[in-house]
Structure 1
Amino acid sequence: PRSLEGKAHLVTLAAPLIDKIPGNNLRALMRQRLSEITGLSGEALSQVAGSAPRSHAPSASSQTPSSDYPDYGDIPDSAYYDSLPDVGSYEQPAPPRQHYERSSESGKGSWKKDGDGKWNKKGKGDFAPRAPRTAVSVESPHLIALRTLLHHPHLAQKVEDVSHFADEDDTYAQLLVALVGALQKTPNLRSLQLIARWHGTEQGRLLRALAEKEWLIQGDNLEQQFFDTITTLANSQSQRRREKALRSIIHKSPSELTDEEKTLLREHYSLTSSQSSKPPTGA
């Protein structure tokens, strides 16, 4: 309390209670602390405690000390600080029985232990759960090729024939074909001009996002990866055309086949037989 009235009220309440504290030293310390808080001297506190109204006289039954409870007023101070409980007869409780159950989630079976700790089937304890991993998006080669072409438009002039992969069904591959074709027709186009051609479309939003994205590949590898992607697209389209041609001629009679179709059929059977004759090791 900060006011004089509050300090006086605190002394009125606390002084009688301090007198009831067993142990002379502890009682003296409590009085000293109350004196520091209120600013009253020890004599003044004693007068307040002496003038405090006594509690009602106890009943006859309470006046007779019970043999089960000691008289705390006669206990010395050392009893509160120096004595230790007798632990000779203390017995440690048995640990809780743990229940093991077999998990049926996996075919090989794994053992789990219920209780404070868990154990996996390798006998190792579970560690604290890791923080959730941040998902890392990995760009497809087509997206990397698109982004490379936006930043290095001159690479389009090194693509020999865009028709080698113009029939790709992939959306990104189709956009890559369109970019290469536009740059081959107008070599001086800049990135912003390319993006403006598809303004307001999904392709335009994709190109803008790719142009603003930070590079994760070293500059020395960009050109090589760009042409690797172009080569992969061309090979993929060539393979699909070959398979489509084989499906169209495999049911024809030999007399109906052209020389080109016969050559394609011989190459197909030669490749199939060579693959089937290889040992499992591939040697």
Structure 2
Amino acid sequence: MAERVIEVDGVELCTESFGDPADPPVLLVMGLGASMLWWEEDFCRMLAVGGRFVIRYDHRDTGRSVTYEPGHPGYTGADLVADAVRVLAAHGIPAAHVVGVSAGGALAQSLALDHAERVLSLVLISTSPAVPDDGDLPSDLPPPTEEFAWFASTARVDRSDADSVIDHQVAYARVLAGGRRPFDEAAVRVLVRRDVERAHDFDAAGNHDSLTDGELPRAPLSSIAVPTLVIHGTADPMFPLRHGEALAERIPGARLLALQDAGHGIDPADRPTVAAAILDHTA
């Protein structure tokens, strides 16, 4: 694996690759507020050992990528979509299989709509329809669970204190896990501490909460023409399963893989299953 900071159009983004550059490329797009560390190394290696050239990267305001003043992001959601293209361009890759989780799945959808020539296939994990289809978003999408909504509305964190930030992020990860499986707090705490200590300014990740959309795709999801796999946990508290079902219904030919009792994101127990599904989908 090799970490490198690229600069395209004046934007510095930290990337890391795994595997042989001659293998089919897979671009991993993380959710907002999270660095590339949340694509855990063993998962990336599973894909690389399976014959894929894997690239993960830090969004702006996370990890070692360009950082803006907290409260003043100098970019939009559309710029984050363009950043995925920048990462591919810097690695000399004309098109890749794109895997997005959470809001990264929304960015992946927009990438497939605005830059179709860059996308070989899509894998959309723990996400929801990102753009209206037939003039509107599905009307039957359920809200987040009560526990998630309560945490989001009541949680407080002192961002000037690293331990407070770490405690908050661990508690948030516990809620996202969905509550139906064991939660490895010790392992999550190690990951969160690495994330906080590695970042140029962890406080800047809060800029993602105030991003404007920018120029959203005008085409409907039904115009996505690449093979698409939707992966969704049945206990996802942020986007209940119906969100994944609706996404699979709106993209022609999309398949849905439901993970029983899984929450939001990729549970460590599901990494082999998810990696195998991605390898099969991108074969």
Shared fold (TM-score, shorter chain, > 0.5): no
Greater percentage in helix: 1
Asked which structure has the greater CA Rg, the reply is 1
Report TM bin, short chain: under 0.3
Greater percentage in strand: 2
TM-score (norm 2): 0.19
